[in-house]
A and B are shown apart, each in its own frame.
Chain A
Amino acid sequence: MDEIATHFAVERLLARYVACIDDDRLEEWPAFFAERCRYQIISSENYEKKLPIGVFIATSQGMLKDRVAALREANIYEAQRYRHLVSSILILDNDKGIVRAQSNYHVVRIMQDGATALFSTGRYLDRINLNGAAPVFEEKIVVCDSRRIDTLLAIPL
């Protein structure tokens, strides 16, 4: 895959990923990841100090499915939606279709009563496998700029 095609494939994956979350199609969210994967939401403070615990971690697609099931069935939180804005991407490395990419994100949270606020900003540090039928995240580390989470974090970033 040439450089432009790689760039396009990563950008399209990210666009589809955030649209899935923002459209509240969370049941489709785990399929953006490989069966064995690593997804983590962590503050930049912990990430830079190499402290391993963040806000949420999944080490399998099953754990992502469990997150969605819990959000739908068990957890209580006020109705809310996200609107993601993802920056242009940086391709850091491409090793035979295993691509490391970095982008910035902004997430605005819209509560059911209309209250709208900047909820999280940060970086996506992704390792993406472009060799399969559809590109998937083998690793997605969401590094939040702030350690503070307002009220709670239910929906994934």
Chain B
Amino acid sequence: MPNGLDLAWPNEGVTRVPYQLYTRDDVYAAERARVFLGATWNYLCLEAELPKPNDWRATFVGDVPIIVARDGDGTISAFENRCAHRGALICHKQSGNAARLSCVYHGWTYDLKGNLTAVTFQRGINGKGGMPADFKLADHKRRALRIGIYAGLVFGTFSDATPSLETFLGPEITARLTRVLPRNKTIEILGYSSQMLPSNWKLYAENVKDPYHASLLHLFFTTFRLNRLSAEGGIIIDDAGANHVSYSKAATDRGSADYDKADLRVKSDRFQLNDPSIIQGRDEFGDGITLQILALFPCFISQQIQNSLCVRQLVPRGRTETELLWTYYGFTDDDAELRELRLKQANLVGPGGYISMEDGAVGGFVQRGIAGAGRDSEVVEMGGREWRSQETRATESPLRGFWKTYREHMQL
């Protein structure tokens, strides 16, 4: 096999996805090399999380530990969080402010660009011991990532072959990103959450790319007409297929006979909220869009649900476990009422959210379901066999785009 994996993609192409991709150790290892350390842009943090010179944060690219930092001169750098000496984490805390970072194991010290600046007892003690005379600090710079910043989002890539960040995002995606991260606003972090998903990372990546499930699995939405597929909305997929936006306008939902025929678990309109303040949002971007989910290959998601704004980062923690990191944000000029809306509408999302809690479990249902599936594949044909933009959300088109991109990176 040219890809080095004993795995042939089904002849049907992206409408079939082999279950082995979620279960095999060699696939997981190949993803680390070809996707995460390959020619992809990986979300590292928000620029707002590094407000001051010498601020640094620990983050991940795939499962590879990374330090991202704002240098004394204000530029943002990122490099592997792995000491050149014995491989220990240089930083074991989550964040801090320092001009130099020292590994706790033997005190080897780095600047915020990943240069090794000092080795403890390099010349030995009292003329004895120490590193060989030809040891050069400059030979041990940490492997750095190229940084791309767009709309306050910091991304990094290990590969020289990755196109520029703006090229990767494309005009339609950048327009949707700046919609929820406007240039004239300053981000304020409102909270963090972490959700441990009992499944392979791609099962969550797929879930986000799948507008078809939204109003079927998440019936809180459907019941309160926040997001039914009969509302006006659509799917935008970039030319490469890697990135997509799904959006809808709740106010345009006039219902559909197809809904009434579908065998949903609850009859809509049956139950009413005691306290409807949670769903009384404000049209803060002035376009009537009440839901926008934007996903960038491989592991970044931006979410607007009413006035709940969030970025999510997927961190693989092994073949069958994934950490989903939620960062909730608002803007420094939010008035008190808008801030209260963001606070209440955060109930819709996150690990305990009315319309997101199921996503934490459903990937696990697949992971458990595919035990013994052998060489079987998923069927991804809703909305056709293409991966183009569509004016309906009754489609799996973005999913096919994800798999097209995945196959290119993985040479599958």
Contact = CB atoms under 8 A, between A and B. Distances in A.
A binds B: yes
Interface of A: 41-43, 45-46, 51-57, 59-63, 65-66, 69-70, 73-78, 147-154
A46 B327 CA distance: 11
Interface of B: 189-198, 217, 219-220, 223, 265-266, 270-271, 273-275, 277-278, 323, 328, 339, 342-344, 346-347, 350-352, 354, 357-358, 360-361, 364
A65 B276 CA distance: 12
A51 B357 contact: no
- 9 closest Cβ pairs, A-B complex: A53-B191, A62-B274, A62-B275, A153-B352, A149-B351, A152-B360, A152-B357, A74-B219, A51-B191
Contact of B352 (A45, A52, A69, A154): A154
Contact of B342 (A41, A53, A73, A149): A53
A51 B190 contact: yes
Q: For A41, A46, A61, which residue has the most chain B Cβ atoms within 10 angstroms? A: A46
Nearest to B273: A66
B360 A151 contact: yes
B323 A148 contact: yes
Contacts of A63: 274-275, 277-278, 344, 347
A152 B197 CA distance: 8
A152 B195 contact: yes
Contact of A75 (B278, B323, B357): B357
A152 B199 CA distance: 13
Q: For A59, A60, A75, which residue has the most chain B Cβ atoms within 10 angstroms? A: A75
B158 to A, nearest CB: 27
A54 B219 CA distance: 22
A65 B343 contact: no
Contacts, number: 122
A76 B194 contact: no
A149 B358 contact: no
A43 B192 contact: yes
A52 B191 CA distance: 6
Given A147-B193, A149-B196, A151-B360, 6 more contacts: A53-B343, A61-B274, A66-B275, A76-B219, A149-B352, A153-B352
Contacts of A54: 191, 193, 346
Given A147-B194, A151-B361, A152-B361, A70 B220 contact: yes
B343 A70 contact: no
A149 B195 contact: yes
Contacts of B354: 70, 74-75
Question: By DSSP majority rule, is chain B's interface helix, strand, loop, or mixed?
Answer: mixed
B397 to A, nearest CB: 25
A45 B192 contact: yes
Nearest to A153: B352
B160 to A, nearest CB: 35
Nearest to A30: B274
Contacts of B271: 69, 73-74
B325 to A, nearest CB: 9
B352 A151 contact: no
B357 A74 contact: no
Contacts of B344: 57, 59, 63
A153 B359 CA distance: 12
Nearest to A41: B352
Contacts of B352: 41, 55-56, 149, 152-154
A53 B357 contact: no
A55 B350 contact: yes
Given A66-B273, A149-B194, A151-B195, A57 B343 contact: yes
A151 B196 contact: yes
Contact of A53 (B197, B277, B346, B358): B346
Q: For A57, A62, A69, A70, which residue has the most chain B Cβ atoms within 10 angstroms? A: A70
A52 B339 CA distance: 10
Given A70-B354, A76-B217, A152-B357, A43 B275 contact: no
Q: For B189, B195, B339, which residue has the most chain A Cβ atoms within 10 angstroms? A: B195
Given A57-B344, A148-B323, A149-B352, A77 B192 contact: no
